[in-house]
Amino acid sequence: MSSNHSNHFVEDYKSRTRTYDVERTGESHLVLLTELSGEVSVGDQLRAYANGKLVGSINIVPEHLNGTHPVDLVAVGSIDLTEFAGPVLDGYIAGDMIELRLWSVNKSVELKVSSDLSDMQYGNAMELSTGTASVLNEGAIVTSLSLTQNYPNPFNPSTTISYNVDVSGMVTLKVYDVMGRLVRTLVDGYKISGYESGYSVVWDGKDQQGQQVSAGLYIYSLQTPSGIKTKKMVLMK
C-alpha cells in the first residue's frame, strides 16, 4: 500500500468516526476494542463516561463490526490550569472508572455496555485500555416503573397516556370497561428501559374493532415484567 493511499484511508476513517462532543484538553486515554458485539449497528455511537460525565465518543463504522479495524475510542482527561490563571478543563480524573455506553440510532436510547478491559480505570501509566465489549439490550440510564394520569381527563375524542419501565421486557397497556371487559389493547410489545422521557400512546376512544365506545368510566392497566399499574379515566359525551 502506497503512503498516499494509506494517508487517504486514515483521513477517511477519521472523518467518518471522529466526533466533536467533547473538547480536547491535551490529556487522553485510549480505549481500544478488538471486538464490539451485541446490540450494535453501523451509525451508532460508542461513548465513554467518567462519573456520569461524557469524556469521549466514536461513530461506529463497518470496519469496527467486520473485524478489519479496532474501535479506538479516545477519552479526554481533565487538566487544571488555575496555577497559570487558566480554567479547569473538563474530562476524566486519573483513577476514575471507565464506563462505556452505546447510543443506538434505531432505538434512540443509550444502551448498557459490558466491557472486559485490561484496565478499568482512566489515566494509567500507558494511558491505554484494551479488550472487548458487548452491547446489552438494556437502557444505560436507570428509570422507574410509572403510569401517569391520562391527559386530558375527562376527554373527548382522544387522550394521551404516558408510562415508563424500569426493566426491559414485554409490556402491555390495555383499556377495560368497568365490568372488566377488554376494550382496547394500546401497547403489546418489547420496551427498553432507560428512556428518560418515557413512552406515550394515544387512545382515540375506539375499541378493538374500530368502533367508538360509549361515554363513561374506563380503566387502563400497564403490565410489565416488574409489576402492574392501573388508573381510571373518563370519556365524555
The mean predicted confidence, pLDDT, of the chain is 94
**pLDDT exceeds 70 at position 11:** yes
The H or E element that residue 12 is part of is helix 3-17
Q: Is the pLDDT of residue 229 over 60?
A: yes
At 188, which amino acid appears? D
Domain boundaries, the chain: 3-139, 146-235
DSSP per residue over 181-223, as a string?
Answer: -EEEEEEEEEE-S--TT-EEEEE-SB-TTSPBPPSEEEEEEEE
Does the pLDDT of residue 201 top 70, yes or no?
Answer: yes
Distance CA 202, CA 147 (A): 14
Confidence of residue 82 (pLDDT cuts 50, 70, 90): confident
What is the enclosing helix (H) or strand (E) of 109? Answer: strand 109-117
Arch. (CATH architecture) of 146-235: Sandwich (2.60)
pTM score of the predicted model: 0.77
Identity (one letter) of the amino acid at 191? K
Q: What is the pLDDT of residue 5?
A: 62
Tens of pLDDT, residue by residue over 96-121, are: 999 999 999 998 899 999 999 999 99
CB contact at 8 A, 67 and 96:
no
pLDDT for res 7? 81
